[in-house]
Structure 1
Amino acid sequence: MKRLLPLTLSVLLASCNNGSGEIEGLKSFTHEGGDHQEGRVAYTQRPPAGGAHNPSWQNCGVYDQPIYDEYAVHSLEHGAVWITYQRNLPAEQIAALKQLVDGRASTLLSPHDSQGAPVVITAWNKQLEVQEAADTRLKQFLQKYEQGVEAPERGASCSGAYNGTA
């Protein structure tokens, strides 16, 4: 005998799935990997979601100061996810972001001075802007794109390189 889900559960599941599996508000870009260059890079997205980058990557981890875009982009190329926030984000929201990345090997967390939204989560060629750290799409993004298939060098190291701040 076939069991049917209650109507409320069916509607809830459909609304969570959005029909396509895509995360609402997700932006996609097209950047090729492997473009290493020294010095500063002028990026179109703030924070950047790919493109030319420093030959060294940023060590994954939590930073209380901004990090250089050029090193972070190299980490994105390796499959990392970078969560950035405006410096005026309330302390309890920053604590929630730290908890979100706790125990994950391929994430960066740092303030970013030139982004428009309070919180931005970025992977290679993917980005999502949200208004607060409690937004459930952050966890969805992290689960989907950390070591995601679009990262040109996914699985490459996220440690043993640069750990300075801007």
Structure 2
Amino acid sequence: MANGTTRKKGSAVKAARGSVVTKKGTPWGTIIAVVAIVALAASVIIYYMVQSAPKREQAGREQAAASFAPTASDPDPSKRIPGVVTANYTGSVHVLPTERVAYDKTPPFGGPHDGYWATCTGTVYPNAVRTENMVHSLEHGAVWIAYNPQQVTGDALNLLKVRVQGKPFTMMSPYPGLDKPISLQSWGHQLKLDDANDPRIDEFIAALRSNPNGVYPEVGASCDALGPGQFDPDNPPPFDPSKPGPDAKPMDYKGTAGAQNEQGGMNQQPSSGAPAPSATPSK
């Protein structure tokens, strides 16, 4: 009897254990939740890597161009960049928002300009902007990347944008009719290029953006937005593709009385009188 009872108890214990195991089963809910978390984390990492790739690549380009940063012994490193064209221009010559200038270069990189500067705080303008405002920003130490919208699109356009977005004293806009795909301007300097991958873009920016060594007239001037009624970056004055008429101001213009000046007042000098020196290409 004892043996029989013992066998029955053993069978009951085994059955109970089997019942517990059966009830516990595989924790599919936990497994699915863990898999979902891992997949989400992986997707976030992949998204970050894809989205940050342009910035990381740009950081590499900037590091490669670091040797073109200006120093006291090398005040204008752009002189070492093949293809850079230079000219001498007189600064602080302002015209009214209703006036045009007959510029000597396309795009211009110096000369008379609107009394209100274009915002140049890493600004990417989707549409072409009035040239006279853009030139004023060059006087403040900005670099302007202009591009032909018929020739620069897609990945090439994104390559230019990443060099500008969030970068102080930098701006970018389409320039209809441009004779090259890309043209870089700083005050008195220009570089025209065919390829958005060209390392000279980063060298030009490194050499001339906010260069403190007197390569542009108004060191320390602002690039900040002026706002509605002056220059609104969200609604900037549009580019005029037509040829300047006979009333356009010449490159040796002295400035319009009543035009905005850098101190927030108006120009007092008359528009007549001895002309300012003409822009002449550097040798």
What is the TM-score with the length of structure 1 in the denominator? 0.85
CA distance in 2, matches of 1:114, 1:124: 21
1:95 to 158, 164, 183: 158
Structure 2 vs 1, CA of residues 21 and 153 (structure 1 numbering), >3 Å: closer, same or farther?
A: closer
CA distance in 2, matches of 1:36, 1:76: 13
Does the CA-based 8 Å contact 1:65-1:165 persist in structure 2?
Answer: no
* Corresponding residue for residue 120 of structure 1: 183
- Does 2:94 correspond to 1:36? yes
Letter of the 2:216 counterpart? A
Q: Gaps (5+ residues) in structure 2? A: 1-66, 69-77, 239-283
* Corresponding residue for residue 210 of structure 2: 147
Pair member with larger Rg = 2
Structure 2 vs 1, CA of residues 56 and 91 (structure 1 numbering), >3 Å: closer, same or farther?
A: same
Shift of 1:115: 1.9
Does the CA-based 8 Å contact 1:58-1:75 persist in structure 2?
Answer: yes
* Corresponding residue for residue 74 of structure 1: 136
Q: Gaps (5+ residues) in structure 1? A: 1-15
Shift of 1:91: 1.4
Letter of the 1:147 counterpart? S
Does the CA-based 8 Å contact 1:28-1:126 persist in structure 2?
Answer: yes
1:156 to 221, 225, 231: 221
The alignment partner of 1:75 has SS state of helix
C-alpha RMSD over aligned residues: 1.7
- Does 2:198 correspond to 1:135? yes
Shift of 1:52: 0.1
CA distance in 2, matches of 1:102, 1:67: 17
* Corresponding residue for residue 109 of structure 1: 172
* Corresponding residue for residue 11 of structure 1: none
- Higher helix fraction (1 or 2): 2
* Corresponding residue for residue 279 of structure 2: none
Shift of 1:155: 2.1
CA distance in 1, matches of 2:173, 2:100: 18
The alignment partner of 2:156 has SS state of helix
CA distance in 2, matches of 1:146, 1:107: 7
CA distance in 2, matches of 1:86, 1:21: 25
Shift of 1:21: 5.6
- Does 2:101 correspond to 1:52? no
The alignment partner of 1:101 has SS state of coil
Runs of 4 or more above 4 Å deviation: none
What is the TM-score with the length of structure 2 in the denominator? 0.51
Q: Percent identity?
A: 35
CA distance in 2, matches of 1:138, 1:41: 27
